Amino acid sequence: MILDKREQFVLNELPKIATPVEIASRLRKTLNPERARAVAAHHALRAKRRQSSKDGRIRYLTARGLEQATAAVVAKWRARILGNSMMGQTLWDATCGLGADSLALHDEGHEVVSSDLDPTTAWCARENLLEAGMNARVIRCDARSQAVRAQWLLLDPDRRVGGRRTHDADAWSPTLAEVAALMERFEGGCVKLAPGLECPEDLLNAGRATWVSVRRELKELGLWFGGEEGEPGSRQVVSLSREGESHAFVAEPRDVAAWSPEEAARIPWLADPDPGLVRSGLLGALCAEEGARPLAPQLAWVGSEERPRSPLLKARRVLGSCPVDRKHVRRLLAEHDVGPLEVWKRGHPAPVEESARRFRGTGRRRAILALGRLEKGHRAWLLDPEDRA
């Protein structure tokens, strides 16, 4: 539902922190019941946006658009990478949503034409760009059309059918086959996909696959085409901080043998990999560079004799290990004067909060308790909580 300027003014005057009852009471004094409900819903969306990693300039919202909007730090990173190749050419943000990527591209000084098939979403994108002081060129059109003249393409297929997400690429709009055909019309660009997608090998080999995480939360799989950064078929993991600092790792998938259960029990360093490494199949390649190995064949944690150097591996020194049962774990904690616990787990059935309560010690120090499943049974590793050599 589109709000008029008066309703937007009322919305902007509402306090950022207020109870739903207070919001409803204020709105009913100014608007009729139906419009009051619409403004209240919009106010709730703005509150949700403030709690997310979305661009704060996105003020005209829809529930679906907010859910699909690109995290601000990812949009900024992508705009910077595209700028290295576009050289003043025009990009078509063909499924612009609420305009998050278009805003970032404008910030980098790129020529952008934005579009969306949904008229309400396209209107919101236009208003968001205008309010941010951008030269908004936003149209309503189908991404499969040839409505826009541009050399570069940014595309985010709609992966919902009947209101639910689907991994069936033939049900997307555009479909994955249509996406591949669209890209052939342009010099290059990026296709945004769900990070958990099992992407067909032929499409992965046609572009450059990049798994992007922000503060160790996997955000998207991007397929990049054209430009000069990387060869078709290459795979990359990019880890972004909240401030936009990036660390990239490019490699080919490879297998690395796991430690034996006896070796895993004595390993001096344990590391939790960035989720992009696991999803991309590049964990083995990074292990080979770092002299590390998985703690078990199906366990994503890795162990090493020396502290791993890569920022993609969250490494902690191992203070000791034991089988996962209350008696052994409490004894291990007592040996190291540990009380409060942060729990990591992989393949262990108990919830994190329950394990933290169950195994909590009586000591003064804090520590990390990593609970993982080996080939035979579960193992606990007590880790130094500080990131230090």
Do the Cβ atoms of 97 and 116 come closer than 8 Å?
yes
Burial of 309 (0-12, 13-18, 19+ CB in 10 A): exposed
| Lowest-pLDDT range of 162-171, 231-240, 323-332, 351-360 | 162-171
Residues 180-207: what's their mean pLDDT?
Answer: 85
pTM exceeds 0.85, yes or no = yes
How confident is the model at residue 224, as a pLDDT? 94
Statement: residue 308 has pLDDT above 80? yes
> What average pLDDT does the segment 292-319 reach?
95
Superfamily of domain 66-251: Vaccinia Virus protein VP39 (3.40.50.150)
**Residue 119: how many other CB atoms lie within 10 Å:** 10
What pLDDT, in 10s, does the model give residues 264-288? Answer: 999 999 999 999 999 999 999 999 9
Q: Please tell me the distance from the alpha carbon of residue 48 to that of residue 331, in angstroms, as a whole number.
A: 44
pLDDT of 1 = 59
- Which tens digits make up the pLDDT trace of 60-112? 888 888 888 899 999 999 999 998 899 889 999 999 999 999 999 999 999 99
> What pLDDT does residue 50 have?
73
Say if residue 10's pLDDT is above 80: no
pLDDT-derived band at 242, boundaries 50, 70, 90 = confident
| Domain 261-383 part of CATH 1.10.390 | no
pLDDT at residue 17 is higher than 80: no
| Residue 16, both tokens | 């950022």
- Give pLDDT, residue 156: 92
Q: Cis before residue 20, ω within 30 degrees of 0?
A: no
Alpha carbons 308 and 138: distance in angstroms, whole number: 47
* Domains of the chain, residue spans: 5-51, 66-251, 261-383
pLDDT at 135 over 70: yes
Contacts 24+ apart (CB under 8 A), 331-334: 332/380, 332/382, 333/359, 333/361, 333/362, 333/363, 333/367, 333/369, 333/382, 334/361, 334/362, 334/363
**Amino acid at site 172:** W
Return the pLDDT at 19: 73
Tell me what pLDDT residue 116 has.
95
Mean pLDDT of the chain: 89
**Closest CA relative to residue 60, chosen from 76, 38, 31:** 38
Per-residue model confidence (pLDDT) at position 14: 76
pLDDT the model gives residue 31 = 81
pLDDT over 70 (residue 229): no
* Mean pLDDT, residues 306-316 taken together: 96
| pLDDT at residue 63, rounded to an integer | 84
Question: What pLDDT, on a 0 to 100 scale, did the predictor assign at position 28?
Answer: 79
Region 33-40 average pLDDT:
78
